Each structure stands twice: as structure tokens, then as C-alpha cells.
């Protein structure tokens, strides 16, 4: 029997009806084989990172229990992104139809060419920390840093809980 791991997935969209994109992604994540959704945060409206000449984002975080490896989970999430119409571009901070990021995978540190966990920017992104703290207020990063303390100290940048 494979070991179960709790993973946290950040969702974001600012194209093609973002609320629908994020909601549909959460439903599709629930259908991934060997995964069980534990919680889904509220939706949050946030300013874009990088170029400001794009629409605001809708963000959320999903927690799930999985027996998939981190890379198998990444493959499943990228399949969801691709089926939504995600096109990967060189413009890292540009508009996107759907983004599904593995924020945390158990208490593991992962660093390879396809995946970095904890997600490299999560500790400075209000659109990650606030929904994450909402569904997992007692969660800590692998180094012991409290998600709630990070969330309470971050500049909210006008984020709105919907």
C-alpha cells in the first residue's frame, strides 16, 4: 500500500472567466486518480504579479491527500492546465487561463528541473498565503515557518476574499 501525502495546490486564472476556470480546476483535481480533496479555500481576487496591463486574478488553494508521487501529481495538474487551454510562454508573469502549482507536498523539499517544493515564491505571495492559511491555519513549511504567521505579516496588496 502506497503512503498518503497531503499536498497543497495553488490555483490561479485571469483569462476566459477566471472564476469558472478555478472552480473547474478544483473539480478536476477531485477526479485525479489516487487523490482525495480535503479542502478548498474561498476564491480571492488579486492584482497580477509583473505587468499590470492585464486583468486581476482569481486565486484559491486546494488541499488533497494523494498516493501519487510529486511528479505524477505535477503531470496530472499539467494535464488539467492543458485541457483548459493553457499555453506556456516565455513571459513568466503574463496572463494565463489556468495555473495549478504544487505549493507543498507533505513535508518534503523537492528541487529538480521540473518541480521546486515548497513553491519558490509562496512565502511572498498574498494570493497563496491567505487562502492557504484559511484552509490550513496550523500548517508549517518544512523549515518550521508558520503559514499563519507569514500570512499575518504579508502586505495584502488589495487582495479581496470573494
Q: What is the DSSP string of 29-56?
A: HHTSTTEEEEEEPPPEEEPPSS-SSSPP
For residue 64, cis peptide bond before it (omega within 30 degrees of 0): no
pLDDT score at 24: 96
Residue 91: its pLDDT value, please?
58
Q: What's residue 92's pLDDT?
A: 61
Q: Tell me which residues are annotated as active site.
A: 86, 96, 99, 101
- Give every residue of the chain whose pLDDT is below 50, as ranges: none
Residue 89: predicted pLDDT: 62
pLDDT the model gives residue 141: 97
Cα–Cα separations (whole angstroms), residue 73 to 58, 66, 84, 95, 127: 22, 8, 17, 24, 22
Residue-level pLDDT at 82:
87
132-141 pLDDT, tens digit each = 999 999 999 9
pTM metric for this prediction: 0.94
For the chain, domains (ranges, CATH) are: 5-161 (3.30.70.560)
Integer Cα distance of 70 and 145 in angstroms: 21
Contact 39, 67 (CB under 8 A): no
Q: CB neighbours of 42 closer than 8 A, spacing ≥ 6?
A: 60, 131, 134, 161, 162
Residue 76, C-beta contacts closer than 8 angstroms, at least 6 positions apart: 32, 33, 35, 68
**Amino acid 90: pLDDT:** 57
Amino acid 54: pLDDT: 84
Residue pLDDT, tens place only, 86-114: 666 655 666 788 999 999 999 999 999 99
pLDDT for 84 equals 82
C-alpha cell, 21: 476556470
- Predicted local distance difference test score (pLDDT) of residue 36: 96
Amino acid at each position: 500500500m502506497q503512503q498518503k501525502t497531503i499536498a497543497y495546490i495553488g490555483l490561479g486564472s485571469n483569462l476566459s472567466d477566471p472564476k469558472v476556470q478555478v472552480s473547474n480546476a478544483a473539480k478536476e483535481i477531485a477526479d485525479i486518480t489516487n487523490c482525495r480533496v480535503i479542502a478548498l479555500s474561498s476564491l480571492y481576487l488579486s492584482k497580477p504579479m509583473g505587468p499590470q496591463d492585464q486583468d486581476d486574478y482569481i486565486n484559491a488553494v486546494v488541499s488533497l491527500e494523494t498516493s501519487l508521487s510529486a511528479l505524477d501529481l505535477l503531470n496530472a495538474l499539467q494535464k488539467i492546465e492543458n485541457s483548459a487551454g493553457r499555453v506556456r510562454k516565455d513571459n513568466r508573469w503574463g496572463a494565463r487561463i489556468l495555473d495549478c502549482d504544487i505549493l507543498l507536498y507533505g513535508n518534503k523539499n523537492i528541487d529538480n528541473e521540473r518541480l521546486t517544493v515548497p513553491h519558490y515564491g509562496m512565502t511572498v505571495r498574498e494570493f497563496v498565503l491567505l487562502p492557504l492559511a484559511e484552509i490550513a491555519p496550523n500548517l508549517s513549511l518544512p523549515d518550521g515557518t508558520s503559514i499563519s504567521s507569514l500570512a499575518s505579516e504579508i502586505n495584502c496588496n488589495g487582495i479581496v476574499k470573494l
